[in-house]
């Protein structure tokens, strides 16, 4: 700790004056536990022993540059935290226990500049999706951004791994909209699109930017949204024929007009649940009458009625899809933590052929046997996603995928036995789903990080060992990512349990 602080003081003028508010030392800062826990969206690891030696919360890019150089100099590695939503906590904990690490928390690096003249925005990496959506809505009523539905997610991690939400069918994913970026490399240099080169710029857009450096800011293209959009949230239970409806949905959800997105959340209703509830949760980029006529034609089985549909502005739909009411203050989007913070485990798959009703019935049984809230979240693709090639950016899940499916279980008691029980359950569900989902590889979504797929050993793992998980996330793009990594960070300084490996590494 002392040598790190000494190094920082040498590199950043007046550093010691500002440290009180920006450095939190594990062994001595009273604020350290609060700072560490503040953004842990999955509190499973609150009591973990592998914590950062210290947390640096820079307020200027020079401090990030210095933190990288000082970490290298004294031989510790780093973790970077933007919104803290990593499913396995990799932004604030390390399973690579042999190597001590410091955490760079980007909480103070989060300005957003909207430029309507060229319809872009520069977003610093510590900003959240909610902050971005909010700022866009203050600048324009006809612009939006296609990224995740949860406002507290950080742009640092989210854009680095893909990022999809309710406009995925119309505009693709968040990483598709990145037109420039500032990346700080292992030598502390700030690079933009031109100076980092085509390969690295390709890699950081969805290919685990954290394997290549620290993203300081992204420049993104905004998208046009109509003045009025329409949402609905229709719920059906087993008794109301939800299985048939979900079965049918699989045949149409990816083929509907690209202005229409209908996701399904199928869940038990908590402990002792007697039924499955399917929520058909939708955003339509247009007005109610149009929506109803599309639904009558394409999905009459749902029985959508005018009273189910609510017209609103795009920013109100962001609030609504995040679980608020449309008339709640949009400032709620600025909350940096989720209101339902509790331990969870998730896994993901891509579905390429409709699952038969019997297959769905089997998974409902498993949901009903689980004694805590558990769900399947199904996000339809198609539309714009079919037009973008698998190799355009590292995120490869495009044409041929009907929908992404996420299995999610959360529980209240943060105890190891309790965690083990629910993790065992979700692994059984994943096993059960094998015949129904993509194969060779069985693809997974990088942003729904799952260390069950495999993990690097103390940071240094061969390409073939890392392929066990890497091919699932990135398919054939994984090899190109490893090539780029080998050239750009040959010492593998930027590493974690699922960072891109160096080629030809000999253990």
Spell out the alpha helix ranges (H) of 94-230.
129-139, 155-161, 168-171, 193-204
Interaction with ligand FDA in 293-332: which residues (CB under 6 A)? none
* 84 is a site residue for ligand FDA (CB under 6 A): yes
Binding-site size for ligand FDA (CB under 6 A) equals 35
CB distance 208 to 498 below 8 Å: yes
Stretch that binds ligand FDA, among 83-91, 236-244, 328-336, 354-362 (CB under 6 A): 83-91
Stretch binding ligand FDA (CB under 6 A), from 51-59, 84-92, 425-433, 457-465: 84-92
> Which contacts qualify for 414-418: CB closer than 8 Å, 24 or more apart?
414/43, 414/44, 414/46, 414/47, 414/342, 414/343, 418/343
Is residue 436 flagged as an active site residue?
no
Residues 147-186 that bind ligand FDA (CB under 6 A): 148-150, 153-154, 156-158, 160-165
Phi, psi for residue 69 in degrees, rounded to 5: -65, -40
Region near ligand FDA per CB under 6 A, out of 208-216, 238-246, 410-418, 421-429:
208-216
Q: Binding ligand FDA by CB under 6 A: which of 8, 80, 190, 242?
A: 80
Scanning 46-54, 209-217, 235-243, 354-362 for contacts with ligand FDA by CB under 6 A, the matching segment is: 209-217
- Please give the Cα distance from 230 to 289 (Å, whole number): 10
Of positions 62, 338, 460, 462, contacts ligand FDA by CB under 6 A: 338
CB–CB of 278/245 below 8 Å? yes
Q: Does 214 interact with ligand FDA (rule: CB under 6 A)?
A: yes
Pick 163 or 501: Cβ nearer ligand FDA: 163
Report in angstroms how near the CB of residue 293 gets to ligand FDA at its nearest: 28
In the set 133, 407, 448, 463, the catalytic residue is: 448
Out of 215, 264, 330, 482, point to the residue binding ligand FDA (CB under 6 A): 215
Q: Which of 81, 170, 347, 475 binds ligand FDA (CB under 6 A)?
A: 81
335 binds ligand FDA (CB under 6 A): no
Q: Give CA–CA dist 264/253, Å, rounded.
A: 10
**Could you tell me the smallest distance in angstroms from the CB atom of residue 307 to ligand FDA?**
27
Using CB under 6 A, which of 79, 170, 347, 397 touches ligand FDA? 79
Tokens representing residue 6 in the block: 């000494």
Side-chain half-sphere of 237: how many Cα atoms within 13 Å? 7
Distance CA 321, CA 395 (A): 24
- Residue 432 Cβ vs ligand FDA, minimum distance, rounded to whole Å: 23
**Residue 125 in the binding site for ligand FDA (CB under 6 A):** yes
| 10-18, 79-87, 219-227, 432-440 -> range binding ligand FDA (CB under 6 A) | 79-87
Question: Which residues 430-469 are close enough to bind ligand FDA by CB under 6 A?
Answer: 447
Each as own residue / partner, the long-range contacts of residues 246-252 (CB below 8 Å, 24 or more positions apart, any chain) are 246/278, 246/360, 246/378, 247/354, 247/355, 247/356, 247/357, 247/360, 248/299, 248/301, 249/280, 249/299, 249/378, 250/351, 250/354, 250/355, 250/402, 250/403, 251/354, 252/298, 252/299
Q: Which is nearer to ligand FDA, 304 or 376 (CB)?
A: 376
Is the preceding omega at residue 441 within 30 degrees of 0, hence cis?
A: yes
Q: How far is CA 88 from CA 209, 251, 401, 449, 467, in A?
A: 17, 33, 25, 6, 19
Q: Where are the alpha helices (DSSP H) in 51-151?
A: 61-74, 129-139
Catalytic residue numbers read 448
Q: Would you tell me which residues interact with ligand FDA (CB under 6 A)?
A: 41, 79-87, 90-91, 106, 125, 148-150, 153-154, 156-158, 160-165, 209-210, 214-215, 338, 447, 496
């Amino acid at each position: 700790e002392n040598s790190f602080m000494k190094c920082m003081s040498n590199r950043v003028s007046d550093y010691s004056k500002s440290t009180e508010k920006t450095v939190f030392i594990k062994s001595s800062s009273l604020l350290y536990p609060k700072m560490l826990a503040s953004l842990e969206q999955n509190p499973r690891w609150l009591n973990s022993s592998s914590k950062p030696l210290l947390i640096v919360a820079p307020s200027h890019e020079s401090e990030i540059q210095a933190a990288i150089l000082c970490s290298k100099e004294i031989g510790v590695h780093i973790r970077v935290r933007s919104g803290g939503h990593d499913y396995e906590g990799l932004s604030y904990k390390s399973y690579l226990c042999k190597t001590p690490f410091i955490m760079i928390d980007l909480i103070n690096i989060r300005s957003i500049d909207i430029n309507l003249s060229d319809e872009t925005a520069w977003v610093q990496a510590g900003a959240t999706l909610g902050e971005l959506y909010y700022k866009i809505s203050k600048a324009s009523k006809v612009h939006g951004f296609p990224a995740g539905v949860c406002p507290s997610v950080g742009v640092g991690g989210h854009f680095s791994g893909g990022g999809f939400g309710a406009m995925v069918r119309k505009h693709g994913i968040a990483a598709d909209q990145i037109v420039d970026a500032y990346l700080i490399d292992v030598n502390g240099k700030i690079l933009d699109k031109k100076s980092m080169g085509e390969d690295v710029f390709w890699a950081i857009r969805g290919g685990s930017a954290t394997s290549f450096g620290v993203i300081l800011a992204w420049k993104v293209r905004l998208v046009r949204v109509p003045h009025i959009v329409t949402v609905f949230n229709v719920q059906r239970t087993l008794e109301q024929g939800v299985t048939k409806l979900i079965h049918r949905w699989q045949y149409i959800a990816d083929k509907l007009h690209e202005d229409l997105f209908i996701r399904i959340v199928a869940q038990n209703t908590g402990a002792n649940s007697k039924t499955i509830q399917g929520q058909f949760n939708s955003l339509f980029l247009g007005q109610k009458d149009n929506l109803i006529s599309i639904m009558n034609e394409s999905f009459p089985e749902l029985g959508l009625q005018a009273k189910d549909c609510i017209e609103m502005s795009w920013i109100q739909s962001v609030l609504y899809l995040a679980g608020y009411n449309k008339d709640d203050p949009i400032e709620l989007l600025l909350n940096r933590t989720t209101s339902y913070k509790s331990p969870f485990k998730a896994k993901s798959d891509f579905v390429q052929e409709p699952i038969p009703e019997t297959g769905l019935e089997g998974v409902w049984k498993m949901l009903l046997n689980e004694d805590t809230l558990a769900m399947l979240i199904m996000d339809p693709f198609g539309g714009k996603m079919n037009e973008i090639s698998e190799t355009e950016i590292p995120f490869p899940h495009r044409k041929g995928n009907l929908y992404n499916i996420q299995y999610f279980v959360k529980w209240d008691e943060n105890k190891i036995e309790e965690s083990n029980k629910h993790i065992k359950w979700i692994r059984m569900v994943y096993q059960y789903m094998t015949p129904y989902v993509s194969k060779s590889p069985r693809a997974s979504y990088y942003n729904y990080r799952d260390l069950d797929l495999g993990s690097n050993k103390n940071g240094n793992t061969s390409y073939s060992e890392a392929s066990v998980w890497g091919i699932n996330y990135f398919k054939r793009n994984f090899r190109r990512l490893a090539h780029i990594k080998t050239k750009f960070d040959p010492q593998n300084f930027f590493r974690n349990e699922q960072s891109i490996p160096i080629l030809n590494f000999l253990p």
